[in-house]
Amino acid sequence: MEQDAYLVMRDIHKSFSTVEVLKGANFSVKRGEIHGFLGGNGAGKSTFMNILGGIYSKDSGEILIDGEAVEFSSPMQAIQHGISFIHQELKLFSMRSVADNIYMSRLPQKGPLRLIDDKKKNEMAREWLNRIELDIDPRTVVENLSIAEQQMVEIAKALSHQAQIIIFDEPTSSLTKKETEILFRIIRKLRDEGACIIFISHKFDEVFEICDRVTVLRDGRDVGTVAIRDTTVDELVSIVIGVKLDQYYPELNVIPQEQIALEVRGFCNDKLKNVSFSLRRSEILGIFGLVGAGRSELARAIFGLDACQSGTVIINGEATRITSPSAAMKKGIGFLTEDRRGEGLVLGMDINNNLNLPVLSSLTVPVVNFLRAKRMGRNTQAAFERFHIVARSPNQRVKELSGGNQQKVVLAKWFLTDPEIFILDEPTRGVDIKVKAELYEQIVNLATAGRSVIVISSEAPELLGICHRILVMRNGEIAGEFSRADATEEKLVKCAMGGQ
């Protein structure tokens, strides 16, 4: 363990029921350092950091801050020890002002009646906003801010607590490139002022851009700490997954058939402008484009979620009208939404019920409306085995799963419907590199089994790795089409931005 570390977590153990999640994990960070914290979904990252943040209590081990042993039994105790946790899902009161959120539970008071001193509250909040270069009125209601601005408010709140240790959990997942650059500038400024920054991310390019060192957790244990300047992406990937990843993308040996499985003609609505394309059986078709290009809107229109003013869908040579998701499902279409938490899952429901929702009608006994529990259980067991879902049990609530396992549940439930056509919108967003490799293999297996797949992604290398053909969208239109042999990342990006 490092002698000059400000924070030391040593031999941390944690179990939930009979499942041992942390098995003697260690971690340390210095003052004035940005320390990356990586690991596959289910490695124990969230549990480890939730112990540091006072959300969970450890079973054994010790935590030292500036050489002094500390114990937390609540998030407030962690805050009192100078620790702030900026979660991926922001913890703000959307209907209250920025100043209220920064000073919640510590609102300044005045007079014998101890009324809230709004003037002082806003002045103090403005000082913290100025420090992080956020030019907004502290009286602004939080729900009127962008996601990036809300994240900056979380940072201002952390600093107002005199935080010395700041944990960022997937901080760029909802930010644009420009917003990410601003966030990184603020993080570097905090580092230079002596703060300890813990940066949790699945994005290796960001880790190499912002971090000084990185620690990897695997299967509940720390398996390596390296300086970024002394390692490479390939080496770090190998540490994360435990083996050398010689072939990140699976071989695409399947050849698309001549038969057209899906044809879209002249789709038009507020977002789409005369979009037409075809998809062959056993083909993986990629759709690339910048934010706002119309990719997700096209997927939603095909699946009947968004209305079209004009256009035709032809499935296996038969023209059809799809006006709802249920109609699309009856025609053999499955749709994985890009918003898994908002639209893809019922977070408060358990895994078993989430998996079986799309096939509920086939599991219900007529007249008495009795669910066939054994059949549901078989479906769930098959999904766990096929997708390697990591959970305490099928009865665990989905919101308690890691992001990668949530994504596996969303994909697995559509496999249960056995559609002929899969539309996958950002299927690997927010998951680690090992889960990505597993999902790529599942997608290629679909094509091998004769299914047709549309993969929508903002990551050009992903589409280049698994697709037979790639369409590029721009301003609601198809701006270009590339075969697997001709496509390059440069060509895709140039086409998406309006170049030739």
* pLDDT tens column, 231-279: 988 888 778 777 655 557 888 999 999 999 999 999 999 889 999 999 9
* pLDDT confidence of residue 365: 67
Give the DSSP letter of residue 97.
B
* pLDDT confidence of residue 247: 57
CA neighbor of 263 nearest in space, from 300, 318, 308: 318
**Spans of the chain below 50 pLDDT:** 1
- Order of strands across the sheet that contains 60-65: 19-29, 7-16, 60-65, 68-70
d(CA 49, CA 85): 9
The first and second tokens of residue 324, run together, are 């709802």
φ/ψ (deg, to 5) at 326: -65, -35
DSSP string, 323-339: -SHHHHHHTTEEEE-S-
Displacement of CA 439 from its chain's centroid (Å): 14
Give the DSSP letter of residue 141.
B
* pLDDT confidence of residue 154: 87
d(CA 337, CA 274): 23
d(CA 102, CA 92): 9
On whether the CB atoms of residues 21 and 32 are closer than 8 A, the answer is no
The first and second tokens of residue 479, run together, are 């701006």
d(CA 60, CA 407): 32
**297-300 contacts, C-beta under 8 A, 24 or more apart:** 297/269, 297/271, 297/272, 297/476, 298/264, 298/267, 298/272, 298/473, 299/335, 299/423, 299/425, 299/454, 299/456, 300/335
Within a 13 Å sphere around the CA of 461, how many CA atoms are in the beta-carbon half? 5
The first and second tokens of residue 354, run together, are 């989430």
Q: How big is the CA angle at 99 (ends 93 and 104), to the nearest 5 degrees?
A: 55
* pLDDT confidence of residue 278: 96
* pLDDT confidence of residue 82: 92
SS3 384: helix
What's the one-letter identity of residue 491?
K
DSSP string, 418-466: --SEEEEESTTTT--HHHHHHHHHHHHHHHHTT-EEEEE-S-HHHHHHH
* pLDDT confidence of residue 43: 81
On whether the CB atoms of residues 250 and 443 are closer than 8 A, the answer is no
* pLDDT confidence of residue 244: 58
Displacement of CA 285 from its chain's centroid (Å): 23
Instruction: Please report, for residues 22, 257, 387, the alpha-carbon distance to residue 349 in angstroms, rounded to integers and kept in the order given.
Output: 26, 40, 19
What is the signed CA dihedral for 277, 279, 284, 286, rounded to 10 degrees?
Answer: 10
Instruction: Please report, for residues 103, 122, 198, 210, the alpha-carbon distance to residue 207 in angstroms, rounded to integers and kept in the order given.
Output: 31, 35, 11, 6
Note the pLDDT tens digit of each residue in 67-98: 999 998 899 999 999 999 888 777 889 899 99
Burial class (CB in 10 A: 0-12, 13-18, 19+), 322: buried
Give the DSSP letter of residue 343.
I
d(CA 249, CA 426): 16
Domains of the chain: 7-241 (3.40.50.300), 260-496 (3.40.50.300)
* pLDDT confidence of residue 368: 59
* pLDDT confidence of residue 499: 59
Going by C-beta distance under 8 Å and a sequence separation of 6 or more, which residues neighbour residue 456? 286, 287, 295, 296, 299, 338, 423, 424, 425, 426
